[in-house]
Amino acid sequence: MSNSTGTDIVVVGSINADLTAKVQRHPEPGETLLGSGGTVSAGGKGANQAVAAAQLGAKVTMIGAVGTDQMAGEALTHLRQSGADMSAIATVDGPTGLAIITVSDDGENTIIVIPGANASVTAEFVDKHSQLIENAGIVLLQGEIPADGFERAVDLSQGRVVINLAPVVPVGHDQLRRADPLLVNEHEGALVLDMLGTPATTSDPQSLVTELLEQGFTSVVMTLGAEGALVGTPGQLTAIPTPKIQAVDTTGSGDAFAGALVAKLSEGAGLIEAATFAARVGAYAATRPGAQASYPTLTTDLPSTTH
């Protein structure tokens, strides 16, 4: 499904098997609920974003690891079909990363990630792929690999670095500030400000983006769920609309947004155009169950933001 136009994207990130239970509502602490589903599907924020970008025609290489268990096969299914280059995915002793997910009737999810093989994506591991990273036009990172692997990938990058720090984990501030854009939701944006030692003064998204820009980021994209997104560059904030949809499962829709964003950036689009497209892709993904299984291709009729 890849083309050979545009800049090369290298994703250094996690590959998980997602074990998903459907529940009417999320359990309270100490509560047991009956659910349904229990199926395993391909996930991991790194792999999700790689698949999303590759299915949209971008040239993508995935750097990551799976384990020697049976989950590995399931975790790689969509990557195989997406056309992403998988030659930098290692198989390491032990289990594949596992995400335990609950999805409620309103489409909202909770996720617990057990890193498994993703814990082997250290600086030493990343160094083995230094040439790929150095030559990449865009390096895309998330927060599900060890911090030293994340930091080495940024240090090796000679192109654009896009960081979706989800989950927000402690990483080097200098490496984090290379993000262009930093891609976060409101909650993550506030946590990043905490991490940088400048706690947010407000929960207002526009102010959060402004405060992040004041911390030295070249650009910030903040996703706001049904409210769309904000694109911030020094001196300019732009609201990005999102299509109105009926959410079925929001698992991985943020990753669909991230993958679509870098796919467009790799074609030379500006941040506002890329985020406008990404909002439509993220919305589409939320109307279908699962993470990678819900992602569009180039021929998909995406929902529109005009009504």
Residues at the site binding ligand RIB, with contacts judged by CB under 6 A: 14, 16, 18, 43-45, 48, 99, 111, 113, 144, 251-252, 254-255, 291
Sheet with 36-43: strands ordered across: 36-43, 16-23, 97-104, 109-114
| C-alpha dist (Å) from residue 200 to 143, 145, 295 | 20, 26, 33
Determine the residue with CB nearest ligand RIB. Answer: 43
Smallest gap from residue 24 Cβ to ligand RIB (A): 21
Reading the block at residue 160, the tokens are 């654009």
Judge residue 303's burial from the number of C-beta atoms within 10 Å of its C-beta, 0-12 exposed, 13-18 middle, 19 or more buried: middle
Cβ 286 to ligand RIB shortest distance, Å: 12
Least Å distance between CB 162 and ligand RIB? 16
CB of 198 to ligand RIB, least distance (A): 27
CA distances from 175 to 46, 72, 118, 149, 199 (A): 18, 30, 20, 11, 19
Q: Minimum distance between the CB of residue 17 and ligand RIB, rounded to whole angstroms?
A: 8
Q: Which residues are annotated as a binding site?
A: 16-18, 44-48, 144, 185, 223-228, 249, 251, 254-255, 285, 288, 290, 294
Place of tokens 């032990």: 94
Task: Specify the residue, 48 or 120, whose C-beta has the smaller distance to ligand RIB.
Answer: 48
Strands annotated E in 67-144: 85-91, 97-104, 109-114, 138-141
Q: Which residues of 192-213 are buried (b: 16+ CB within 10 A; e: fewer)?
A: bbebbeeebeeeebeebbbbbb
Nearer to ligand RIB, 44 or 64 (CB): 44
| Single-letter code of the amino acid located at 95 | P
238: its two tokens: 């732009």
Bond into 181 cis (ω within 30): yes
Residue ranges in the chain assigned as alpha helix (H): 45-55, 71-82, 123-127, 130-135, 147-156, 173-176, 186-195, 205-214, 253-266, 271-286
- Please confirm, yes or no, whether 194 is among the known catalytic residues: no
Active-site residue, selected from the candidate residues 93, 180, 255, 301? 255
| Cα separation, 245 vs 157, whole angstroms | 37
Token duo for residue 264: 């467009």
Q: Please report how close the Cβ of residue 116 comes to ligand RIB at its closest, in angstroms.
A: 11
As annotated, the active-site residues are 255
